[in-house]
């Protein structure tokens, strides 16, 4: 642990840290462009120059390891002059187009030149001009503004794992580009926009939309996948303009996926803004009291076990809980479920359906075995973590299926369930590797849980790990990779029906009334059923509905979500639902009042405290036995990974134009102008 | 020197010839296993030699696959170094040194000769597509200034007339003799030695 002095303050830093980090520890701010905590050190912008005793020249603090006895000065005229000099060179070729630059107001170069720069330019020569580069539908380039910090290149190579960005040419003529200007094939590509310290890479969908100081910023969580990335939602006039990542070292570090960032334009398309009733196959606008009255009479005129309800993939926990309460208390039945497929679930223990090793745990693991999962598309941020573990610790990754490029190399097996069986009966080479691993991770995807022999396989995997003492106090190797934001929360709330197979009954048209809350993924042939759809977007669910109740999206209501690790996080209201749409819990609460003349909850606080009480009780006594009638026999099947279309995995993404463009650029679909 | 761009007309395929392949494998074998990327510069040079002194994009792709590295990394290297030619340069590739010592000794006359005999502009093919020329920085033969390099050979102690003579020969398809054009052997002093007279073996 070297001790050094920074501006006469003694600091002791860990081995391997740099002078820049030591300065930060001592409270001295160092300006920088190329240095970024999460990326490798480049040392090419020279903005972080500091004075070191006995060194005739200033040193680049980001690239100099802190050493015993150093005496660093960061506030001397010498340092000030060095910074001014560097700044002047950086600005020599930088255009003065801040008034028309989207980065203006949140630009590192702008801020730092105000602070450390000189107010006049001595550069009389012509400025360099660089042609714009095409980098796909998300990244707008204005390469004349580039200061060659290479953060984007390092991000693409190191974190995203796609070596597609590079710096061509040299010296003043250096240019950042993708290989032959193809679009960047990564689900993390748009993070380079945040990394760019100037306005060279800016957001294409957000171009000229707003200035950062005009936006209302709300810190919330994302619902595009089950990871629960922490995000900041920026709104202007109640329209969500953009989504940016927040730092959460336990979940998303500093990155978010492109879907998280850019599906937000789906929040203003295809919205349900008023209640609708279907007359003769056509939807007509109606008032809330009308639709409630019709629903009431429908409920009253059908027997209670002919009613069923399904909760969707983006609903928050409050809505799920009040929905359950509505069925339990107002309708007196338990025909509700949150699963839209024949997925196996043993909810006798919470550990059976969450990602137990935790996202941070990935970095400690020494063996990762993916069964029926493609983390690149199912949980992009989690995949970036696996890549980090692979790069830093050389963690071995095995996948049962060949799932294509995961941005790291892995060993793939034949994709047969027989292989899973033989491995977890302990007779294979891989079995020995799992046994000898100290912290193995078995990641089970939803595709496995949908198989006929899912229960059998799940149990042999669990028993094998148990038998070999892989469950310890600080390590649980069994991980379920959920795909949707609401999945784990709904399971925690017990929005399940274990006695009947509701889906089968729905498919054989046994119900008279079907109540869907944000559930768009059910596949059944509608016959005589009366379908009530409550949700935010006019999608598959609304299409088959007889009555539409307009609800809110995740940015328009406060609501809890439990991520795949079982962490409960709150999404905050950043905007208002459109038109006459209401918050989801409110709709169900008012419906209950119409039905019984009594609200289920007086206000949101009561709902929340009741919900947390329920969750607590559930954790204490989880008695629900696994009563599902399932095939316990083993049968050899081919495990096919059923991927939802990555860019169209939920209603918001399906309504987003940007997501369509991303999909087109991925599959090289040329737009014809007739898409509508 | 502006950014050098890959040529517009690119060939469709590129493959190492058997002799190039042998040479390439020899270079790769010099590096430890897993570090074969280190051979990228040598391989680009081999490709350039094989392909009439220039590197097409397919060759970069081919080398990237050969060394198991991303295309962009090879592209970066090829655009960084000025001695890799990214567009066709002609069978006879003339590089005229115009750094200070040559310039003082009249390199601009050589450039004039190039403009007259080969093409008006740098990096442009001559009428019969066999020649192109460019100005380069010091080629390390200052003692014999002014000089130029044609493919692998140095032509030294030139003036305008002699340069034109060389070009005439080249355009006729003959191979002019490399080396000094004032009758010197290598870099020995003209006429007689003027220093170290008493040292026999100097």
List the single residue in A with minimal CA-CA distance to B69: A163
In this prediction the pTM is 0.91
CA distance B181 to B158: 6
Q: What is the pLDDT of residue A271?
A: 94
**For the residues B8-17, what does the mean pLDDT come to?**
92
Q: What is the pLDDT of residue A626?
A: 52
Residues whose CB falls within 8 Å of the CB of residue B58, separated by 6 or more in sequence, listed in order: B10, B11, B12, B13, B14
Using a CB-CB cut-off of 8 Å, the residues of chain A touching B69 are 163
Comparing C-alpha atoms, which of B113, B120, B42 is closest to residue B81?
B42
List the single residue in B with minimal CA-CA distance to A174: B3
Give the rounded percent of residues in chain A with a pLDDT score beyond 90: 80
**For the residues A559-576, what does the mean pLDDT come to?**
95
B79 pLDDT exceeds 90?
yes
Q: What is the pLDDT of residue A670?
A: 58
Angle at which helices B40-50 and B71-80 pack, to 10 degrees?
Answer: 70
Closest approach of A172 to chain B, Cα-based (Å): 9
Cβ contact B79–A169 (<8 Å) = yes
CB contact at 8 A, A231 and A561: no
Closest approach of B72 to chain A, Cα-based (Å): 5
Using a CB-CB cut-off of 8 Å, the residues of chain A touching B76 are 166-168
First and final CA of chain B: distance in angstroms?
41
Strand partners, A203: A139
* Nearest neighbour of A165 by CB, restricted to B1, B69, B72: B72
Task: Determine the number of helices (DSSP H) and then strands (DSSP E) in chain A.
Answer: 21, 26
CA distance A565 to B187: 76
Q: Give the three-state DSSP class for A179.
A: helix
Q: How confident is the model at residue A253 (pLDDT cuts 50, 70, 90)?
A: very high
Q: How confident is the model at residue A452 (pLDDT cuts 50, 70, 90)?
A: confident
CA distance A220 to A376: 23
CB contact at 8 A, A391 and A158: yes
Q: Which two tokens stand for residue B55?
A: 């590197």
Task: Please tell me the number of Cα atoms within 13 Å of B75 on its side-chain side.
Answer: 23
Q: How confident is the model at residue A676 (pLDDT cuts 50, 70, 90)?
A: very low
CA distance B150 to B142: 16
* Ramachandran angles phi, psi of A396, nearest 5°: -80, 135
Q: What is the pLDDT of residue A574?
A: 95
* Nearest neighbour of B80 by CB, restricted to A163, A169, A178: A169
* Nearest neighbour of B75 by CB, restricted to A157, A173, A179: A179
The count of other CB atoms within 10 Å of the CB of residue A524 is 17
Which tens digit of pLDDT belongs to each residue from A607-653? Answer: 999 999 999 988 876 655 555 556 667 778 888 887 778 999 999 99
* Nearest neighbour of B72 by CB, restricted to A164, A169, A173: A164
Residues 60-119 of B with CB under 8 A from A: 69-73, 75-76, 79-80
CA atoms B105, B106, B111, B116: torsion sign: negative
* Ramachandran angles phi, psi of A38, nearest 5°: -90, -5
**For the residues A257-278, what does the mean pLDDT come to?**
94
Q: What is the pLDDT of residue A636?
A: 82
Q: How many CB pairs under 8 A join A and B?
A: 36
Q: What is the pLDDT of residue B200?
A: 76
Strand partners, B8: none
Q: Give the three-state DSSP class for A510.
A: coil
Cβ contact B80–A166 (<8 Å) = no
* Ramachandran angles phi, psi of B180, nearest 5°: -75, 140
CA distance A552 to A267: 10
Q: Measured over all CA atoms, what is the biggest interatomic distance in chain A, rounded to whole angstroms?
A: 91
Mean pLDDT (chain A) is 92
Which tens digit of pLDDT belongs to each residue from A30-74? Answer: 999 999 999 999 999 999 999 999 999 999 999 999 999 999 999
Q: Is the N-terminal amide bond of B146 cis, ω within 30° of 0?
A: yes
Closest approach of B68 to chain A, Cα-based (Å): 12
Q: Give the three-state DSSP class for B133.
A: strand
Residues whose CB falls within 8 Å of the CB of residue B29, separated by 6 or more in sequence, listed in order: none
Strands (E), A451-545: 478-481, 513-517, 530-535
ipTM associated with this complex: 0.85
First and final CA of chain A: distance in angstroms?
63
Which tens digit of pLDDT belongs to each residue from A72-82? Answer: 999 999 999 99
Q: What is the pLDDT of residue B60?
A: 95
**For the residues A247-276, what does the mean pLDDT come to?**
94
Which tens digit of pLDDT belongs to each residue from B30-66? Answer: 999 999 999 999 999 999 999 988 999 999 999 999 9
For residue A515, the surrounding DSSP H or E stretch is: strand A513-517
Distances (CA, A) of B185 to A662, B87, B142, B149: 66, 35, 15, 17
A563 pLDDT exceeds 60?
yes
CA distance A190 to A180: 19
Q: Give the residue, B199 or A41, on which the prediction is more confident.
A: A41
Which tens digit of pLDDT belongs to each residue from A158-213? Answer: 999 999 999 999 888 899 999 888 888 899 999 999 999 999 999 999 999 999 99
CA distance B57 to B65: 12
Which tens digit of pLDDT belongs to each residue from A505-526? Answer: 999 999 999 999 999 988 888 8
Which tens digit of pLDDT belongs to each residue from A576-620? Answer: 999 999 999 999 999 999 998 889 999 999 999 999 999 998 887
B3 pLDDT exceeds 60?
no
Residue B42 forms contact with A (CB below 8 Å): no
Which tens digit of pLDDT belongs to each residue from B164-196? Answer: 999 999 988 888 999 999 888 888 888 777 788
The radius of gyration of chain A's CA atoms, rounded to the nearest angstrom, is: 28
Q: What is the pLDDT of residue B1?
A: 43
Q: Measured over all CA atoms, what is the biggest interatomic distance in chain B, rounded to whole angstroms?
A: 63
A86 pLDDT exceeds 70?
yes
Cβ contact A173–B2 (<8 Å) = yes
Residue A669 forms contact with B (CB below 8 Å): no
CA distance B15 to B23: 13
Mutation choice for A interface testing from B61, B64, B76, B80 by most A CBs within 10 A? B76
CA distance A395 to A433: 12
As a residue count, chain B comes to: 202
């Amino acid at each position: 642990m070297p001790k050094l002095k920074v501006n006469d303050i003694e600091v002791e830093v860990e081995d391997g840290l740099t002078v820049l980090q030591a300065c930060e520890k001592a409270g001295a701010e160092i300006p920088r462009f190329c240095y970024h905590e999460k990326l490798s050190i480049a040392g090419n912008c020279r903005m972080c120059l500091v004075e070191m005793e006995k060194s005739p020249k200033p040193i680049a603090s980001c690239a100099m390891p802190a050493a015993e006895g150093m005496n660093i000065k960061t506030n001397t005229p010498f340092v000030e002059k060095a910074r001014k000099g560097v700044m002047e060179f950086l600005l020599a070729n930088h255009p003065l187009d801040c008034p028309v630059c989207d980065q203006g107001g949140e630009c590192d170069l702008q801020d730092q030149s105000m602070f450390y720069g000189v107010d006049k330019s001595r550069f009389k020569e012509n400025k360099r001009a660089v042609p714009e580069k095409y980098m796909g539908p998300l990244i707008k380039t204005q390469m004349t503004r580039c200061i060659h910090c290479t953060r984007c290149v390092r991000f693409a190579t190191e974190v995203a794992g796609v070596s597609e960005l590079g710096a061509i040419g040299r010296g003043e003529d250096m240019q950042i580009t993708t290989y032959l200007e193809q679009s960047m094939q990564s689900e993390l590509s748009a993070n380079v926009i945040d990394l760019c310290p100037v306005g060279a890479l800016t957001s294409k969908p957000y171009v000229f939309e707003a200035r950062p100081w005009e936006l209302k910023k709300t810190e919330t969580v994302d619902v595009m996948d089950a990871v629960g990335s922490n995000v900041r939602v920026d709104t202007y006039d109640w329209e969500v303009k953009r989504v940016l990542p927040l730092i959460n070292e336990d979940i998303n570090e500093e990155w978010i996926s492109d879907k998280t960032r850019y599906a937000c334009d789906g929040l203003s398309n295809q919205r349900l803004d008023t209640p609708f009733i279907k007359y003769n196959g056509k939807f007509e606008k109606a008032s809330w009291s009308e639709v409630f009255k019709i629903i009431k009479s429908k409920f009253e005129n059908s027997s209670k076990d002919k009613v069923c309800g399904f909760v969707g993939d983006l609903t928050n926990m409050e809505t799920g809980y009040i929905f359950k309460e509505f069925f339990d208390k107002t309708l007196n039945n338990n025909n509700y479920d949150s699963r839209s497929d024949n997925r196996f679930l043993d909810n006798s223990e919470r550990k059976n359906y969450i990602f137990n090793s935790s996202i941070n745990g990935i970095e400690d693991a020494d063996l990762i075995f993916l069964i029926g999962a493609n983390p690149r598309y199912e949980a992009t941020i989690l995949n970036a973590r696996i890549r980090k573990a692979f790069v830093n610790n050389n963690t071995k990754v095995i996948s049962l299926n060949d799932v294509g490029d995961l941005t790291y190399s892995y060993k793939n097996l034949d994709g047969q369930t027989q292989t899973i069986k033989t491995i977890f009966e302990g007779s294979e080479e891989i079995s020995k590797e799992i046994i000898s691993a100290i912290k193995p991770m078995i990641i089970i995807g939803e595709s496995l849980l949908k198989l006929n022999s899912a229960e059998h396989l799940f149990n042999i995997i669990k028993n094998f790990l148990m038998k070999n003492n892989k469950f310890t106090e600080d390590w649980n190797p069994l991980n379920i990779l959920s795909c949707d934001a609401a999945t784990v929360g709904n399971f925690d709330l017990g929005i399940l029906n274990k006695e009947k197979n509701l889906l089968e009954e729905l498919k054989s048209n046994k119900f008279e009334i079907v109540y869907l809350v944000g559930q768009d993924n059910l596949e059944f042939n509608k016959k005589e059923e009366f379908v009530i759809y409550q949700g935010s977007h006019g999608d598959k669910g609304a299409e088959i509905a007889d009555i539409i109740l307009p609800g809110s999206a995740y940015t328009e209501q406060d609501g809890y979500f439990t991520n795949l690790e079982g962490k409960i996080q709150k999404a905050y209201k950043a905007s208002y639902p459109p038109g006459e749409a209401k918050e989801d819990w409110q709709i169900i609460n008012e419906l209950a009042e119409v039905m019984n003349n009594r609200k289920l909850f007086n206000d949101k606080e009561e709902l929340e405290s009741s919900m947390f009480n329920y969750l607590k009780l559930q954790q204490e006594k989880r008695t629900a036995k696994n009563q599902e009638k399932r095939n316990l026999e083993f049968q050899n099947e081919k495990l096919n990974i059923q991927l939802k279309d990555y860019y169209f995995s939920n209603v918001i993404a399906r309504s987003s134009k940007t997501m369509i463009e991303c999909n087109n650029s991925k599959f090289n679909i040329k737009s014809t102008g007739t898409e509508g | 020197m502006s950014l050098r761009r890959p040529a517009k007309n690119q060939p469709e395929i590129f493959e190492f010839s058997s002799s190039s392949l042998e040479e390439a494998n020899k270079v790769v074998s010099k590096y430890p296993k897993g570090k074969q990327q280190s051979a990228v510069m040598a391989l680009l040079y081999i490709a350039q030699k094989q392909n009439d002194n220039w590197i097409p994009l397919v060759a970069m792709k081919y080398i990237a696959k050969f060394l198991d590295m991303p295309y962009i990394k090879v592209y970066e290297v090829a655009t960084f170094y000025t001695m890799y030619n990214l567009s066709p340069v002609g069978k006879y590739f003339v590089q005229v040194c115009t750094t200070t010592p040559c310039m003082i000794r009249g390199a601009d006359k050589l450039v004039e000769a190039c403009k007259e005999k080969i093409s008006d502009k740098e990096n442009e093919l001559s009428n019969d597509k066999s020649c192109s020329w460019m100005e380069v920085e010091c080629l390390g033969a200052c003692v014999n200034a002014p000089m130029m390099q044609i493919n692998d050979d140095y032509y030294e102690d030139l003036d305008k007339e002699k340069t034109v003579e060389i070009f005439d020969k080249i355009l006729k398809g003959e191979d002019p003799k490399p080396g000094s054009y004032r009758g010197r052997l290598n870099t020995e002093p003209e006429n007689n030695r003027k220093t170290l007279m008493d040292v026999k073996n100097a």
